[in-house]
């Protein structure tokens, strides 16, 4: 079965992409991910805070030793390999890109406008095939208006895009005041792909210790519904490619995402839960499903369940009203 996929100009063997996770920390791990059969690997993120920390460290060394023996940056103490600074990330990226053909997408993660965005260029120089910009920003500033946040995110994207010639994707949260408008505006700014959506991590509370607990759970298949709905809505109204992310448990979620028009489908939880061998099963199941439907390639199904251009804007309202009216009738089957 021909599963080849174009994702923001990159030719992938198939549409399943490993999204950023702890499985992409080392060269060996990334090699293993690529060997598992995924079409591309997005590395774990390099965080704005890591970059700023390193930049501040260099600035303070320069300040303290400017007039002594230090003549160039090469005299700086070496960043140890396990340091949280950006150099080990770039070294790993460079090594893996020189070793394998699978496209490697580097991930930059930040929420303010700053010099850290210049690291996009270092990622390109290290051999990345593309950049995924993760705009993770839980809103804690009560004075910040929705329009300010949007403008900030557009400005961050523009700064990154200006640095590089490789494709740039943005990984968005679903929590914008007018999500589809934000998607449309990123598209107008020339984003190469939209990664929909980031998963917010909220802490829990330990009732014994009366403490706030940082928590990270793997996703489940019900979480596909929001990205599915939004991708179906925007697919035919934007040029940018779309990577669906969140909630893949089995091939069913992958097929659903392709049906609403995703170019690629990303997965982390399924691989963490089932191991790297699971990628082969997902690919085999996808080929078998396509074959059973008489399809020759992904274009036979991609986007067939997205909203045609010119669909009525109140479609979602109708769906909501109809669903609630049905649910308000007794008896309703609550088995889901």
Ligand X SMILES: Cc1cc2nc3c(=O)[nH]c(=O)nc-3n(C[C@H](O)[C@H](O)[C@H](O)COP(=O)(O)O)c2cc1C
Footprint of ligand X (CB under 6 A):
19-22, 44-45, 107, 109, 134, 171, 199, 216, 218-219, 245-248, 267-269
Q: Which residues pair with 297 in a beta bridge?
A: 2
Cα–Cα distance, 57 to 76 (Å, whole number): 10
List the one residue out of 105, 83, 139 whose CA is nearest residue 33. 105
The residue (of 44 and 153) whose beta carbon lies closer to ligand X is 44
Q: Cis link prior to 184 (omega < 30° from 0)?
A: no
Cα–Cα distance, 187 to 168 (Å, whole number): 12
The residue (of 254 and 290) whose beta carbon lies closer to ligand X is 254
What per-residue string of b and e applies to 207-218 under the rule 16 or more CB within 10 Å gives b? eeeeeeeeeeee
Query: Is the separation of the CB atoms in 247 and 196 below 8 Å?
Result: no
| Residue 313 Cβ vs ligand X, minimum distance, rounded to whole Å | 29
Q: Which residues pair with 130 in a beta bridge?
A: 105
| Residue 3 Cβ vs ligand X, minimum distance, rounded to whole Å | 19
The residue (of 282 and 307) whose beta carbon lies closer to ligand X is 282
List the one residue out of 183, 98, 132, 167 whose CA is nearest residue 17. 132
List the one residue out of 132, 136, 120, 129 whose CA is nearest residue 98. 129
List the one residue out of 168, 173, 128, 124 whose CA is nearest residue 150. 173
| Residue 294 Cβ vs ligand X, minimum distance, rounded to whole Å | 29
Query: Is the separation of the CB atoms in 158 and 188 below 8 Å?
Result: no
The residue (of 20 and 303) whose beta carbon lies closer to ligand X is 20
The residue (of 160 and 307) whose beta carbon lies closer to ligand X is 160
| Residue 196 Cβ vs ligand X, minimum distance, rounded to whole Å | 10
List the one residue out of 8, 2, 15 whose CA is nearest residue 264. 15
The residue (of 20 and 88) whose beta carbon lies closer to ligand X is 20
| Residue 137 Cβ vs ligand X, minimum distance, rounded to whole Å | 13
| Residue 267 Cβ vs ligand X, minimum distance, rounded to whole Å | 4
The residue (of 171 and 302) whose beta carbon lies closer to ligand X is 171
| Residue 224 Cβ vs ligand X, minimum distance, rounded to whole Å | 8
The residue (of 219 and 307) whose beta carbon lies closer to ligand X is 219
H or E, element range at 40? strand 40-47
| Residue 22 Cβ vs ligand X, minimum distance, rounded to whole Å | 5
Give the contacts of 297 (CB within 8 A, at least 6 positions apart): 1, 2, 3, 4, 290
Q: Cis link prior to 125 (omega < 30° from 0)?
A: no
């Amino acid at each position: 079965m021909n599963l080849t996929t174009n994702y923001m100009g990159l030719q992938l063997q198939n549409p399943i992409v490993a999204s950023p996770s702890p499985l992409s920390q080392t060269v060996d791990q990334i090699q293993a991910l690529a060997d598992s059969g995924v079409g591309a690997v997005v590395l774990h993120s390099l965080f704005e805070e890591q970059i700023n920390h390193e930049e501040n460290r260099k600035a303070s060394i320069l300040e303290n030793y400017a007039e002594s023996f230090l003549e160039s940056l090469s005299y700086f103490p070496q960043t140890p390999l396990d340091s949280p600074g950006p150099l080990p990330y770039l070294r790993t990226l460079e090594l893996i890109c020189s070793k394998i053909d699978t496209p490697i997408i580097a991930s930059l993660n930040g929420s303010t406008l700053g010099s850290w965005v210049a690291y996009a260029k270092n990622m390109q120089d290290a051999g990345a095939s593309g950049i995924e910009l993760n705009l993770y920003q839980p809103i804690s500033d009560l004075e910040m208006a929705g329009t300010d946040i949007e403008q900030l995110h557009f400005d961050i994207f523009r700064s990154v895009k200006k640095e590089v010639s490789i494709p740039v994707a943005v990984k968005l949260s679903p929590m914008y005041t007018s999500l589809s408008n934000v998607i449309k505006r990123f598209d107008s700014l020339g984003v190469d792909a939209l990664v929909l959506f980031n998963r917010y991590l909220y802490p829990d509370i330990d009732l014994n210790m009366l403490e706030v607990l940082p928590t990270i759970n793997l996703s489940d298949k019900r979480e596909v519904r929001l990205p599915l709905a939004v991708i179906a809505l925007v697919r035919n109204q934007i040029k940018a490619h779309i990577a669906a992310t969140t909630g893949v448990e089995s091939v069913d979620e992958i097929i659903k995402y392709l049906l609403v028009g995703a170019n690629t489908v990303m997965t982390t939880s399924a691989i963490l839960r089932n191991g790297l061998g699971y990628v082969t099963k997902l690919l085999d199941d996808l080929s078998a499903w396509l074959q059973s439907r008489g399809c020759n390639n992904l274009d036979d199904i991609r986007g067939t369940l997205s909203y045609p251009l010119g669909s009525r804007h109140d479609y979602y309202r109708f769906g909501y009203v109809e669903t609630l009216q049905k649910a308000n009738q007794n008896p309703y089957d609550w088995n889901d």
